[in-house]
């Protein structure tokens, strides 16, 4: 007698966190990742599961191909995006996943297939035979795709990284210097070739283009300091956002902001500021407790 068909969720739900991590790393937006995983679940529900030998492989393949479809349209949307596009910040630290926000920015310069091959093999530990099935390419092509992606990502990895504790110490020192208007303190923390990326998405005030260089950045912060209520931002959270030391503030106008730092050789080399409210709904829920 054939055993009863298990509930589709009994197989799917234990794999959901891994599928969500893959989809988020592919897309950079939590809501899009959740939509992809939900669509994968609906397809799993309609699958002839008796014929499936490896449910995880099938589901990873489904999620990856759905992400590739989303990325095709996402490229167009990001070209039309107002200002700098940054991945949606997430507070959760992903165990065994060392992809920082800096490296996710490097992934944005890859083709969708390069991104998929690199993530599945280098980050999620799949062999190239599995990767080939997931992206419908032969293993040799997948090796080449991953190799090209690895070269780009390697350029973005810090050559002289600091400890996690030191990174958080510098983030706290930066926030204190900004709040007090300590220009010399700000200068001491920044590398000469520091760069600031600010994402408002046309829905919140933000620098439209990256700001390069310590002197320009110091003048930028001095300008912000002269704005009304500039020093009244409330610190809500200090911790890690996408693998980088960071903090979350509630600005005087009620808007939320995340500020994350790439730190190398004792200096801040990049600052990532997210102000687009569409990308901060999960952060607001996590640190403020509001659902909208």
Alpha-carbon distance 290 to 192, whole Å? 39
Alpha-carbon distance 10 to 8, whole Å? 5
Q: What is the pLDDT of residue 93?
A: 54
Answer positive or negative: Cα dihedral of 146, 149, 151, 157: negative
State the pLDDT confidence band at 1, using cuts at 50, 70 and 90: very low
Alpha-carbon distance 119 to 12, whole Å? 21
How many other β-carbons are positioned within 10 Å of the β-carbon of residue 41?
19
The structural domains of the chain, ordered by start, are 8-156 (1.20.140.160), 164-287 (3.10.450.50)
- pLDDT greater than 90 at residue 5: no
Alpha-carbon distance 145 to 34, whole Å? 26
State the pLDDT confidence band at 64, using cuts at 50, 70 and 90: very high
Alpha-carbon distance 68 to 160, whole Å? 34
Instruction: Out of 44-48, 160-164, 226-230, 286-290, pick the least confident.
Output: 226-230
Max CA distance (Å), the chain: 78
Strand arrangement, sheet containing 211-212: 211-212, 190-199, 267-274, 256-264, 244-250, 234-241
State the pLDDT confidence band at 63, using cuts at 50, 70 and 90: very high
Alpha-carbon distance 34 to 211, whole Å? 33
Q: What is the pLDDT of residue 97?
A: 62
Q: What is the pLDDT of residue 68?
A: 94
- pLDDT greater than 60 at residue 167: yes
Mean pLDDT of the chain: 89
Q: Which residue has the higher pLDDT, 117 or 81?
A: 117
Mean pLDDT in residue range 56-70: 93
Alpha-carbon distance 19 to 282, whole Å? 18
Mean pLDDT in residue range 118-147: 95
State the pLDDT confidence band at 21, using cuts at 50, 70 and 90: very high
pLDDT digits (tens, 9 = 90+) for 232-269: 788 999 999 999 999 999 988 888 999 999 999 999 99
């Amino acid at each position: 007698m054939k055993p009863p068909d298990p509930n589709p969720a009994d197989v799917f739900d234990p794999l959901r966190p891994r599928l969500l991590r893959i989809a988020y790393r592919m897309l950079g937006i939590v809501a899009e990742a959740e939509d992809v995983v939900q669509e994968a679940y609906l397809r799993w529900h309609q699958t002839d599961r008796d014929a499936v030998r490896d449910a995880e492989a099938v589901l990873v393949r489904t999620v990856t191909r759905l992400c590739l479809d989303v990325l095709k349209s996402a490229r167009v949307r990001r070209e039309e995006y107002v200002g700098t596009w940054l991945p949606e910040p997430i507070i959760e630290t992903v165990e065994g996943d060392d992809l920082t926000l800096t490296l996710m920015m490097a992934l944005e310069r890859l083709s969708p297939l390069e991104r998929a091959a690199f993530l599945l093999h280098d980050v999620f530990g799949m062999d190239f035979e599995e990767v080939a099935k997931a992206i419908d390419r032969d293993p040799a092509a997948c090796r080449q795709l991953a190799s090209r992606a690895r070269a780009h990502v390697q350029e973005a990895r810090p050559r002289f990284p600091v400890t996690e504790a030191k990174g958080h110490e510098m983030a706290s020192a930066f926030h204190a210097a900004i709040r007090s208007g300590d220009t010399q303190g700000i200068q001491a923390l920044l590398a000469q070739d520091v760069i600031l990326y600010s994402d408002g998405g046309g829905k919140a005030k933000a620098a439209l283009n990256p700001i390069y260089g310590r002197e320009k950045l110091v003048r930028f912060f001095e300008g912000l300091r002269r704005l009304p209520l500039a020093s009244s931002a409330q610190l809500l959270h200090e911790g890690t956002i996408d693998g980088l030391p960071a903090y979350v503030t509630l600005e005087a106008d009620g808007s939320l902001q995340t500020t994350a730092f790439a730190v190398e050789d004792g200096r801040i080399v990049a600052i990532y500021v997210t102000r687009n409210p569409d990308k901060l709904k999960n952060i607001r829920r996590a640190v403020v407790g509001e659902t909208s």
